[in-house]
Structure 1
Amino acid sequence: MAEHTIHLGEKIKRFRELLGVKQDALAVELGDDWNQKKVSMLEAKADIDPAMMEKVAQALKVPRQAIENFDTERVVHICSNTINSYDHAVGISNYGTFNPLDKIIELHKEKEALHERRLKEMEALYKGC
């Protein structure tokens, strides 16, 4: 099977999307002479000047090499292995579910108990005056 290589503009696009950055936001970071359309045109280029790659990397706050070496298959592999490992590490499995609302309720009850203890301490303090 032939390896499909992604051109630099496509790597910028995929990296930007993974970071959740819109083209407009990247354009703002790149400077006044940039706009969404210009970012789109940059992402369509196969070859990009190293200085431009550095500028994009700084705007995205990542190392230039991270963009240049970006490999979708490796990202998917790492994410799938990390998610599975994390799920098992924290006890989440297909056999049970974790409800975040239960944790919020538990924390609220702890907060109420702390508040009650502080009120009692304050009452005891004022009785001594």
Structure 2
Amino acid sequence: MGNSQTQKRLILFAVAILGTAVIAAAPSPAGLSIRGQYAVATMFFAGFLWVTGTLPLAVSAVSIPFVLTALGVYDDLDTALVGFADHLIFLFIAGFMLANALQKYDIDRRIALWMMSKMGSSPR
């Protein structure tokens, strides 16, 4: 990665932090709690990073609970990370790992060819 690309990413990250700080410090609209305003600021932070591609998507996604905890939306990091520990998340991760292993060793293609040999190549 070139030096100009690194500088661009640093500038975009600084803009994301500045925008988040401005939204968090702005006067709250009527009916919106301070925690709600901090959640909106975090949504801006994550959305800006995703749209601009400043950080990889995984890093942006994992940063959200940390930002929410730092701003006080959650009392502690354990509470913020509860959504990552859902059993469905682990099911998806296991499925993706299995699919990746099948693809890496070309087993997915072999399964598809075996199925085609049993069923034939005609769509009927």
TM-score by length of 2: 0.31
Larger radius of gyration: 1
Please identify which structure carries the higher helix content.
2
TM-score by length of 1: 0.30
